[in-house]
């Protein structure tokens, strides 16, 4: 991938995996609170949800002072995709570990870019 706009500081981390946990919408809120708190991000406004209980994927966008989080869940496939996009540095390993443990991933892949 060519790194366009190298003068703009940003960090992106994509985490995807299959989860082994009974999933509900409150769980997403708990995860968002945990990842924001543990990584030192600051929430800006309320998260915006789409496709709640209608069709897949369930989608949630979280606006942060440091940019944002895009969160997608395919409940029928027990699959989650999370994209952390930040204008500041954050601990990638911690973000992966929090996500892996919180959702009890049985398989996980992640990449920073």
Q: Does a structural domain hold residue 19?
A: yes
- Mean per-residue pLDDT over the chain, rounded: 91
Q: Does a structural domain hold residue 2?
A: no
CATH number for the domain harbouring residue 72? 3.60.90.10
- In angstroms, the Cα distances linking 46 to 85, 97, 110 are 17, 25, 26
pLDDT of residue 99: 97
Q: Does a structural domain hold residue 1?
A: no
What range defines the domain where residue 108 resides? 11-112
Please tell me the total count of domains within the chain: 1
- In angstroms, the Cα distances linking 73 to 4, 30, 58, 91 are 29, 15, 5, 23
Q: Does a structural domain hold residue 6?
A: no
Q: Does a structural domain hold residue 103?
A: yes
Is the pTM here over 0.85, yes or no? yes
Q: State pLDDT tens for residues 5-14.
A: 888 889 999 9
Q: Does a structural domain hold residue 57?
A: yes
């Amino acid at each position: 991938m060519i790194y366009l706009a190298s003068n703009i500081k940003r960090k992106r981390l994509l985490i995807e995996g299959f989860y082994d946990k009974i999933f509900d919408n409150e769980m997403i809120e708990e995860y968002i609170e945990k990842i924001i708190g543990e990584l030192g991000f600051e929430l800006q406004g309320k998260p915006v949800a789409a496709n709640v209980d209608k069709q897949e994927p369930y989608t949630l966008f979280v606006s942060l002072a440091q940019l944002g989080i895009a969160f997608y869940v395919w409940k029928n496939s027990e699959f989650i995709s999370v994209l952390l996009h930040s204008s500041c540095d954050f601990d990638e390993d911690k973000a992966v570990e929090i996500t892996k443990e919180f959702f009890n991933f049985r398989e996980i892949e992640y990449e920073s870019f």
